[in-house]
Each structure stands twice: as structure tokens, then as C-alpha cells.
Amino acid sequence: MKTSLKSTLLLLALISLTHCSFRKTESVKSTSEDSLQNKGEDFPLALLNADQALSTMLRLTGQSAPNNAVLNEYNIRNSSFSVRSELTMMNAPLLLSATSLAGEVCNSLIAKERGLASESRLFFQGINFSTGVDKINNTIFMTTIDRFAEKLWGRPLTDSESALFADFFATFVMDLTDAQRTQAAQTQALALSACSATLSSFETLTF
Amino acid sequence: MNKAGICFLFILGLLPSTVNALSDTEKEAKWLLERLTGTRWPADDNLVLEMSQLITTQSRSAAAQRAMREPEFYNITIKQFALLMSTREETIRTPFNDFAASFIGVTRDDIDARQLLTGNFYYAAAASRIPAGVTIPMDIGDDMLASNKHYESLESQRLNLVNLLEKRDFQLLSINDANDTVLNPDAAGVLTSRAFLEAHATAGTNRRLVEFSFRQFLCSPIDSIADTMAPDVRIGRDIDRFPGGDPVKFQTTCKGCHTVMDGFRGAFAKWDFLNGTPIHSAAGGTQGRAPRADSRGIASKLNQNNNVYSGGYVTTDDSWINFANRGTNATNLMWRSNPTGNGVRGFGEQLANSQRFSQCMARRTFEMICKRTLPLEEQMLIYAQVGAQWETTGYKLKKLFEVIATHPKCRHPAGGSL
């Protein structure tokens, strides 16, 4: 089962990679050893390297400096990031590493925001971290996701993204037992998933 | 995170993103800010709005200047710009070092960038600016000259480099195992930085120092300036004139690179890198810092393997001759100073004053910010144009980044005519 899950993840990552590389720009070609061989008048998107990705994740979530957990994760994962900027350098290990790094940045963000009054938070307004997910409805969840989309991507969610997030929320809650749905830890896990997903998305990792 | 969460992360990448909420000017401001700082910014950040207004009310240049006030411009963009040039591997996956620190400092302080190849200074963290509770190895001998600990520590703790670095006049060299220091007798900016010397003066014959100086600062790989018709009087005795018993091979291939390299090699005749430390024979080192040199101070490696071709040139001083000044080399490199000189500083002046230096920096900046190369037919024109413009502004790196980031060939597609 574990192996099957891994394979599925890898496949999804690869599909995602292939799709994204040619969706966002057709200008990037890996036909030369020159990292910047992009001919013509195109304005290519560029892939962030590790240093840029960490800086981006911190900047986008309004954190001025990384804590030790983020730095440790960065030190473990940074070699999986590309040192070059072509989109074709994006691969499954990079995506996994970006997700792990985003996870730690998001943990730090959640720790910061849960100590703030709901209206003072940048992202998690309306989420009560001391109660379970049974107190979170689709509207509250989607409002949070909207905030991430606006801040990180500079645009509202597309219909298909909204549908995906709504589906994710429903599945997340459905997979829990009644007891788990009342646990505060699951609220944190939900927030972590939403934050990590947006923060390690293709759109966040390119500029 | 449960299974649903993990799968969800990857599916997200599949989705198209066609909805845009920013105006064209805001998009351009955001793009400018992100490319200059190497960092993505929140779309609703006040700085994006401020830059957008600057584009509308003043100019793109004003917006670029504003972006370059952010620490990420130095701590990420300039750092990586320099790291790519600092070692043999030419990768940003290189620890922060004194070479990159000088680039950050020179950019921040608006110093003439030619001094990167000629100046007698270095940059290190000011003890007074290090945040409380942070420990940085600060010993000049142990942590900056005999190792890279000082600079690595600044980076690994992700400190704000641009705020911490201070300019220190007079480069130093370690002279004994206790790492006592003396003044560097032939300081030449980053050419005599620990990182550059470690990369290129370790072992070898010091030809690599010439090769990579051309490669990094003139964007000219050595084979691109090979000239088999140039004088071979400076080619050392360690180069076989009959490789495989075939003198033609030497005359038609080997000689081409060696005329140029060996002509300049004398500049580094007194330099070596031993036991983790740059060594100059005139510095008078002892113990582990004792130079491996002859009585004239010429590093042993300059005249090693002297029986390969006994009629070759014997290095006796640190003089050099520019043999890359004929034909297409003269046209492409566009030298503007005396073709002979002494030491690394003189060599640095020769490179820095060539037109090719400014064009090369323009090219490197273009590739750093615009993430592409120009078509060949445009390269000559645009890099020459931007390079010339940069020279008139006093070789200030910030100006170069500003000009490139706002150049029509680099600009975000949303940025039309204003």
C-alpha cells in the first residue's frame, strides 16, 4: 500500500511537472548546456533556487526570519532544488523538498497566527485552533484559501482550484473518525495542508 | 498531514491559472521587484503598489531603484551573481565567501566596479552589527584567511549580509601557523580573495587563474581567445612542443591558448594556495605559510617540469605581457591600457579597463535578471550599448542592474510604452 502511494505521488508530481512546464511558457527549451538558452523575444518564467524559495516562502507568509526548524529543514532539503532557473529543471524530488520546506514555514506561520486574535491574522482568520475541524465549515475553509491565493498568487482562485480545494476539505474531514474531528490537532493539520499546498505550488516556485 | 493532504499538494500543480487581479503596471512592478530581489512578493504588498506608482508617475528606473533598497537584492541576487564567478564549479551552490562579500559591499557602497579587480580592500561583518545572541567566528587569520568559517557562518545563520558587512581597507595575508597577518603586497580585489585563489591557485601552474579571470570577468573562455599566431616566447618549459611526437599539434592547437595564458601567467608568479591559505612569497611566511618558491620569490609551480622543453620560458619575476591583443582578440576585448605590467593588480587593471569587462558585466546581469540570453545577433549591440552606458555612470553595479531590469529586451511583457 505504501509503495502504491509513493508511486501515485511520483506519477502525480511528474504529470504536474510536465504539464506545468509547457503550460506556463513554451519558451523554455532544454536544448543547450547554457542554462539561459532561451531564444527569441519570449519572457520566460524562471524556477526559484533553494535560497530564493526560502526567501519567497518567508516573504509571502510575512515572516522576517526563519526559525531553527525551518533552517534545519532548509539545510536538509536545499540540495534537491535546482541551481538553474529553467522550468525543465523542476522534478519530483524538488517538489517533495519544496513541500517539506513549505511545511516547516507553515508550521511557523501557524504557531505565529494561532497566538493572534482572529482579525489580526494574515491568513487564518476565522479558524479556531483550539477546537476540532467539526467547527470549520466549507465557507471558513475557502475564505482561508482565498486569502492564500490573493496573497501568494495575486489572483482569486479559479473555478477548478476552488472545486479542488472544496473537494480536499470534504475528503479531509470525511477521512477522520468522529473523535478525530473534535481534536485541535486536526485543525492544525488542515491548516498546514492548505498552507503547504499553496506555498509549494508551481506558481509560488516560479517568477 | 494525511494521505488526502499529500496527494492534494501535487494535484494543485495541474491547474491552469488564467485569472488575473493585478493591473498591467502592478504586474510589471511586481515582476521588477521579484527579479531584482530574487524573491516572490505578496501581490498586495505595499511595495508593489509603491513601485507601481513610481512607474506611472516617474519612471521604471525609479521603481527599480526602490526595489534595490530591499535586502534581498544584495543577500540573494548580488550574492548569487558573485558566487557563480567565485569558484571553478561556477554554481550558486557555493558557500558564501569573501569574493561574494566584496561584490555585495561594492554594490551597496556604489564603488566603481573596476575596483573589484584592483582594489586593496575586503569586506567582513562588523562585530558591532552582529545581532545579540549570534556567534560568528571573527578572527581574521583563522576564520577569514585560513578558512571560510566567518563567511559561511554569516550565511548559515541567514543573517542580513548587506547590513552586517563593512569595508576594510588593506587586504591581509596569514604568515604563520598562529595566523598572524601582514599586509597583502599585491592586493587586487577579488582576484586575490581567498575564494578565488583557493579555486584556482591550489596546485596546478597558476594558468587557471588567468583562464578563469578571462572567463569570469571578460566572459571569454580561453579557447575563444586562442591565438596560434601570437608570440610563444612566454610559454613555459613544462609545455611539450612535440606532443605525441607531433610538433604540428603544438603549433596549431596547444600554442593558441598558451600564448595568451602564459603571457599573463607571470602576474600570479608569486602566488600560491597552501594549507588552506593564500600565500604570497613577498609576505615572508613561515611554518605552514612558508612559500614554496625560489630565491626570487617565484612559486615553484611556475617553473616545474622544466625538462619537458628546456628551451621554454623561465619565469623570473611577476611581469606579464598581453598577447591577446592581435586581430579578433583586439577587436573583441578592446583593451585600453598598456599591454605589459607587473603583478595581479596590474593584470586586474588590464582586464577592468577593457571594454569587454563592462560588456561582460552587462551580459551577466542580463542573464541574472532576465533569465535568458539574447540572440547572438543582438548580443553585440545591446551589451556594447549597455556596457558603454554603464561606464559613463562610473561603473556602479546598481546602475547596471537598473538599466538591465528596465531594458525593453528584458522588461515584463505587461510593460508597454509609458
Model pLDDT for residues A80-125, shown as the tens digit of each residue:
999 999 999 999 999 999 999 999 999 999 999 999 999 999 999 9
Tell whether A193 is within 8 A of chain B (Cβ): yes
Determine, for residues A49 and B80 on separate chains, whether the beta-carbon distance falls below 8 Å: yes
Question: Could you tell me how many CB contacts below 8 A there are between chain A and chain B?
Answer: 172
The answer, for B76 touching chain A at a CB cutoff of 8 Å, is yes
- Looking at residue B131, the DSSP 8-state letter turns out to be P
Residue whose C-alpha cell is 534581498: B72
State the distance between the two ends of chain B, measured CA to CA, in whole angstroms: 49
Residue A8 pLDDT greater than 70, yes or no: no
- Mean pLDDT, rounded, for B355-369: 97
Cβ distance of A172 and B367 shorter than 8 Å: no
Q: Which of A18-22, A59-63, B15-19 has the lowest mean pLDDT?
A: A18-22
CB of B114 within 8 Å of a chain A CB? The answer is no
What average pLDDT score do residues B124-132 get?
97
- Residue B417's pLDDT band, with cuts at 50, 70 and 90, is very low
Distance from CA of A117 to the nearest CA of B (A): 21
Task: Write the secondary structure of chain A as one string of H (helix), E (strand) and C (coil).
Answer: CHHHHHHHHHHHHHHHHHHHHHHHCCCCCCCCCCCCCCCCCCCCCCECCHHHHHHHHHHHCCCCCCCHHHHHHHHHHHHHCCCCCCHHHCCHHHHHHHHHHHHHHHHHHHHHHHCCCHHHCCCCCCCCCCCCHHHCCHHHHHHHHHHHHHHHHCCCCCHHHHHHHHHHHHHHHHCCCHHHHCCHHHHHHHHHHHHHHHHCCCCCCEC
- Condensed to tens digits (0 to 9), the pLDDT of residues B372-390 reads 889 888 998 999 999 999 9
- Give chain A positions within 8 Å (CB) of B80: 49, 51
| Residue A7 confidence (pLDDT) above 50 | no
Task: State the pLDDT confidence band at B412, using cuts at 50, 70 and 90.
Answer: confident
pLDDT value of position A45: 87
Pairing relationship of beta strands B271-274 and B181-183 according to DSSP bridges: unpaired
| CB distance B256 to B227 below 8 Å | yes
Contact status of B9 with chain A (Cβ, < 8 Å): yes
A18-22, B25-29, B54-58, B210-214: range with lowest mean pLDDT: A18-22
Please tell me the predicted confidence (pLDDT) of residue B415.
Answer: 61
The answer to whether A168 contacts B72, with C-beta atoms less than 8 Å apart, is no
Q: What is the torsional sign of CA B66, B71, B76, B78?
A: positive
Q: Is A185 exposed, middle or buried (0-12, 13-18, 19+ CB in 10 A)?
A: exposed
For the whole model, what pTM was predicted? 0.91
The overall average pLDDT reported for chain B is 94
Read off the C-alpha cell for B60: 521604471
C-alpha–C-alpha distance, residues B279 and B341, integer Å:
21
Q: How close does chain A come to B399, measured CA to CA in Å?
A: 22
Return d(Cα B274, Cα B283) in angstroms, integer. Answer: 14
Inter-chain residue contact A55 with B367, CB threshold 8 Å: no
* pLDDT reported for residue A154: 86
For residues A31 and A69, what is the distance between their CA atoms, to the nearest angstrom?
A: 39
Smallest CA–CA distance from A185 into chain B, residue: B1
B364 touching chain A per CB within 8 A: no
Sign of the C-alpha dihedral, residues B88, B90, B94, B99?
positive
Say if the Cβ atoms of B21 and A40 lie within 8 Å.
no
- Residue B22 pLDDT: 83
What are B214's three cell numbers?
Answer: 578571462
B46–A contact, CB cutoff 8 A: no
Q: Is pLDDT of B165 > 60?
A: yes
ipTM here: 0.92
Please say if the pLDDT value at position B1 is more than 90: no
**Does B200 have pLDDT greater than 70?**
yes
